[in-house]
Copies of this chain bind each other. A is one copy, B any other.
Amino acid sequence: MTLTELDTPALAIDLDAMERNLARVADYAASSGLRLRPHTKTHKSTQIARRQMALGAAGLTVAKTSEAEFMAAVAPEDLLVAFPVVGRPKLQRLATLAHQARITVALDSLDAAEPLSEAAVGAGVRFGVLVEVDVGLGRVGVQPREAANLSKAIQNLPGLEWRGITFYPGHIKSQDDPRVPEFNAAVGALVRDVRAAGLDPEIVSGGSTPLLFRSHEVQGLNEIRPGTYVFNDLNTIASGACGLEDCAAFIVATVVSTRPGHMIIDGGSKTFSSDRLGSGEPGFGRILEAPGALFHKMNEEHGFVDLARSERTFSVGDKVRVIPNHICVAVNLHETCWGIRGGEVETCWKPEARGKLQ
Contacts and interface: CB of A to CB of B under 8 A. Distances in A.
A315 interface: yes
Interface stretch (A16-24, A70-78, A104-112): A104-112
Contact of A87 (B64, B140, B317): B317
Contacts of A111: 315-317
B273 A139 contact: no
Contacts of A333: 332-333, 355, 357
Given A86-B266, A269-B273, A7 B256 contact: no
Interface centre among A10, A115, A299 (most CB of B within 10 A): A299
Contacts of A138: 262, 304
A302 B266 contact: no
Interface in A302-322: 302, 304, 315-317
A257 interface: yes
A332 B256 contact: no
A271 B357 contact: yes
B139 A83 contact: no
A168 B10 CA distance: 26
Interface string A67-95: 00000000000000001101101100000
A41 interface: yes
B329 A355 contact: no
A275 to B, nearest CB: 5
Given A316-B111, A335-B355, A140 B257 contact: yes
Interface residues of A, number: 57
A260 B91 CA distance: 26
A218 to B, nearest CB: 21
A41 B300 contact: yes
B140 A358 contact: no
B84 A358 contact: no
Contact of A140 (B63, B256, B275, B315): B256
A87 B357 contact: no
B317 A357 contact: no
A270 interface: yes
Interface centre among A256, A276, A304 (most CB of B within 10 A): A256
Contact of A63 (B254, B258, B300): B300
Contacts of A274: 273-276, 329
Interface string A233-257: 0000000000000000000001111
A24 to B, nearest CB: 24
Contacts of A267: 357
A125 interface: no
Interface in A152-206: 170
A86 B299 contact: no
Nearest to A329: B269
Contacts of A256: 83-84, 86, 112, 140
A334 interface: yes
A302 B132 CA distance: 14
A77 to B, nearest CB: 24
